Amino acid sequence: MARKKKSTNQVAEDSAVSAQIFDNAELKRISLCLGVLALRLGHHKFKQDKDRIPFLSNLGFDRHEIAAILDTTPLSVSVVLTNLKKKSNKKTKQNAENQSNPA
């Protein structure tokens, strides 16, 4: 006898039940492992923490998670991210001025 296909609602309910099996600590541990793996796969690009921090930030990790992955403090991660943001804003401002003042 052929099995009846599950409806979309049944699949969603099954997924929700299986997601509840993991608690927050386990999901956080998995997330941090994925961050480490991402760095390992791109190891040739990221030689220093100042290169690794924006990469992990773009992947969606917060400063506490980045600090745990890189074995540093959240404050040092914040400083690097702030400096990169200032540098980016300065470049954007210079580009806007150059475009508004044609030679």
pLDDT at 77 over 90: yes
Domain ranges of the chain: 47-92
For residue 64, give the nearest of 51, 75, 49, 80 by alpha carbon.
75
Cα separation, 83 vs 91, whole angstroms = 12
* 57 vs 94, residue with greater confidence: 57
Confidence check: pLDDT of 11 > 60: no
DSSP structural state of residue 2: P
**Res 45 pLDDT > 80:** no
pTM of the model as a whole: 0.62
In the predicted model, is pLDDT for residue 33 greater than 60?
A: yes
The confidence band for 63, taking pLDDT boundaries of 50, 70 and 90, is: very high
CATH code at 47-92: 1.10.10
Q: Taking the CB of residue 11, how many other CB atoms lie within 10 A of it?
A: 11
- The span from the CA of 38 to the CA of 32, in Å, is 10
Tokens of 2: 């052929």
